[in-house]
Structure 1
Amino acid sequence: MTCTENWSTCNGFFLLALSLLAIILNLTPLIADYVEDGRLFYNSISCYEWWLPGLFGGGLLVLPAVSMTLAARKKGSCNSRCGMLSSSLLCVFSIIGGLYCTLIALFAISKGPLICEKGSITLDRCDYSLRNFSDFQSLNFDLVWYTNTSCSPKQINDSVTVHGISQKNSLDFNLVPDFDLNITIDEDSQKLIHIAVYASLAIVGLLEVVTSVSQIVAGLFGFLCGTSKRHKGQSQWRG
């Protein structure tokens, strides 16, 4: 293998690890929501978890580049100039996904969990339009919400009281059966989950961008210089 192929191998495995980590991080608050109340869209820690920064941005958008990068470094049909160039082109989507993951995570850190936001603490107040991310001046990283001890506890106002969003006011998408373990996630735990998940997602997104840029460079070198492929014990350059 040439240095370009070794370079692509490292990039591919690193991107794969980052994409899996992003998916796991995004699933963490979703699983916490479900374990606490036995349903989704009911007692979410944050609006931003439903933007799917890790599942979509840091995960699904990165996987095509991962598959092509790992295929291009093998001694197969993709181990060619075309394969290397394709891995570079697909990394554009990885960069977009990484930036999306980082941007959503930064806004989530700035805003804090739902219990610490002003106004309604239900999912009904969540606005899933991209115009919310046009004003970077609104970002505030003094983390007052993390040290604030007066965050509003979530309460149910009608038929149920579950330290969370009322069933009447929540988004009623019961996609999975109720499964209540009677586990309550207190305010401090919600804050800790929120900052740990989104700080990690921001770092993962940035690392995906850096690694994708690295693979673009490696892919372009492979496209310009060619790759190696062995046939019957002999090393040949493949263009």
Structure 2
Amino acid sequence: MCTGKCSRCIAVTLYPLVLASIICNIMLFFPGWDVKYVKDGHITEEVKYMGGLVGGGLVVLMPALYIHLTGEQGCCGNRCGMFLSIAFAALGVAGAVYSFIVAVLGLGNGPLCNDSGRCTTPFKNSNLTYLADSKSWGECTEPESVVQFNTGLFGALIATSCLQALLCATQMINGLFGCLCGTCNNKEKRPLDHLHSHHA
């Protein structure tokens, strides 16, 4: 596949992942679909690190936009643009890794919830064993179904961040090939096409 076209495919795939990451992080601020917990500051600590919003969201969006430009004809669709895309893709990997680490911590420590009348994280030292023991989820009486809520969204963030890191790493390799061999955009073929039409 042409390196320019590959860049476009990677960027187009990154956009929905960025959107999903941002949406998951925003939803995590409203456990039980209620705003009162965020108002009172009773939110799981890892949610406040905004791994999905900042890391998997804004930090990955910047490389996605630039990588898209390298796949187009113009100022970035050349060897120099491809070289710069390697640095941008590395930034994307860093953002995705940050999102992944925060999500793993959020999943590992479990949610902040009301346990016997006090706000605590009852599953913090369970080493993820609480995920297999659905009976223990009843310890969190409030917010409603917060364990399932956090598990689903942090799990989604882990999946999206892994895909983002994979795509950005692929672009680093693609950018290296593009830097060495060119982007093979139509612009590079035009002079030859013009000569053929002239002779015809």
The farther-off stretch of 8-17 and 64-73 is 8-17
1:77 and 2:75 aligned: yes
Residue equivalent to 1:197: 153
State the TM-score, normalized to the length of structure 2: 0.81
Q: Does 1:207 align with 2:163?
A: yes
Distance 1:48 1:117 in 2: 19
Structure 2 spans left out of the alignment, 5+ residues: 193-200
Q: Is the 8 A contact 2:110 2:150 kept in 1?
A: yes
Structure 1 residues 47-196: aligned runs within 5 Å: 47-115=45-113, 121=119, 140-144=127-131, 146-154=134-142, 185-186=143-144, 188=145, 190-196=146-152
The Cα offsets for residues 3-38 of structure 1, whole Å up to 9 and x where unpaired, read as: 1111111111111221111001101122447x5245
Q: What secondary structure is seen at the aligned counterpart in 2 of 1:121?
A: strand
**Aligned residue pair count:** 188
1:68 aligned partner, one-letter code: Y
Change (3 A) 1:227 1:150: closer
The one-letter code of the counterpart of 1:54 is G
Aligned partner of 2:198 in structure 1 is: none
Q: Distance in 2 between matches of 1:69 and 1:117?
A: 47
Matched residue, 2:14: 15
CA distance in 2, matches of 1:100, 1:70: 23
Deviations 1:34-84 (A, max 9, x none): x52457342644221111010011011111111110000001111111111
Deviations 1:68-121 (A, max 9, x none): 100000011111111111111111111111111111111111111112789962
Separation in 2, partners of 1:71, 1:46: 38
Q: Which residue of 2 aligns with 1:179?
A: none
Looking at secondary structure, tell me which structure has more helix per residue. Answer: 2
For structure 1, the residue ranges without an aligned partner over 5 or more in a row are 126-137, 155-184
- Cα distance, 1:39–1:109 mapped onto 2, change above 3 Å: closer
Q: Which runs of 4+ in 1 moved over 4 A?
A: 116-120
Residues 25, 201 of structure 1: 8 Å contact kept: yes
RMSD, aligned CA:
2.9
Tell me: CA distance 1:83–1:5, structure 2 relative to 1, closer, same or farther (3 Å): same
Q: 2 CA distance for matches of 1:87 and 1:119? A: 52
User: d(CA) in 1 for partners of 2:175 and 2:93?
Assistant: 15
User: CA separation of 1:74/1:216 partners in 2, compared to 1, >3 Å: closer, same or farther?
Assistant: same
Q: 1:71 to 1:112 in 2, by over 3 A?
A: same
Identity of aligned residues (%): 25
Tell whether the 8 Å contact from 1:58 to 1:205 is kept in structure 2 after alignment.
Answer: yes
